[in-house]
Amino acid sequence: MGNHYHLLIETAQANLPRIMQSINTAYTVYYNTKRKQCGHLFQGRFKSILVEADSYFAQLTRYIHLNPIKAKIAINPGEYHWCSYNAYIHHKNKQLYIC
């Protein structure tokens, strides 16, 4: 997905805007430095959805992991480099990132 990303984040504090600003700023600096460019990478605000029910959590993780397949970037979710699918399946890590 060249124009967006999905994160599923659990935070005990109401600090999601600060977290997103930090992630987006750090990646923008990295990207611009690597490619000798300057300026914004992301347009508009991030979208957040509160997840309270376990059933919705399961649907959301399924949607996120299958998104690269819908975008025809990968044949299965385990092939997509920026996806945590393999870590979820094999329970390799407690702190996971999502596509």
Contact 56, 64 (CB under 8 A): no
Categorize the per-residue pLDDT at 91 as very low, low, confident or very high, splitting at 50, 70 and 90: low
> Among 7-11, 14-18, 52-56, 81-85, whose mean pLDDT is lowest?
81-85
pTM above 0.75, yes or no: no
User: How large is the average pLDDT for residues 25-40?
Assistant: 94
Report d(CA 76, CA 47) in Å as an integer: 26
Q: Is the pLDDT of residue 73 over 60?
A: yes
Check residue 78 and report its DSSP letter.
G
User: How large is the average pLDDT for residues 35-54?
Assistant: 89
pLDDT at residue 53, as a whole number:
87
Contact 71, 65 (CB under 8 A): no
Report d(CA 78, CA 19) in Å as an integer: 27
